[in-house]
Amino acid sequence: MDEVPPEVAAEIVQAFYERHYRGWLDEPLPALGGRTPREAAGLKSARPKLIALLKDMENLSARERLEGRPAYDFGWMWGELGLPRPG
Residue 3 in domain:
no
- Structural domain count, the chain: 1
Residue 10 in domain:
no
DSSP symbol at 35: B
Distance of CA 72 to the CA centre of its chain: 7
Domain with 33 in it:
20-80
Residue 1: its pLDDT value, please?
57
Residue 56 in domain:
yes
pTM, entire model: 0.83
**Residue 54 and residue 13: Cα distance in Å, rounded?**
19
pLDDT per residue over 16-43, tens digit each? Answer: 989 999 999 999 999 999 999 999 999 9
Residue 9 in domain:
no
Closest CA to 73 of 17, 20, 29, 9: 17
Residue 11 in domain:
no
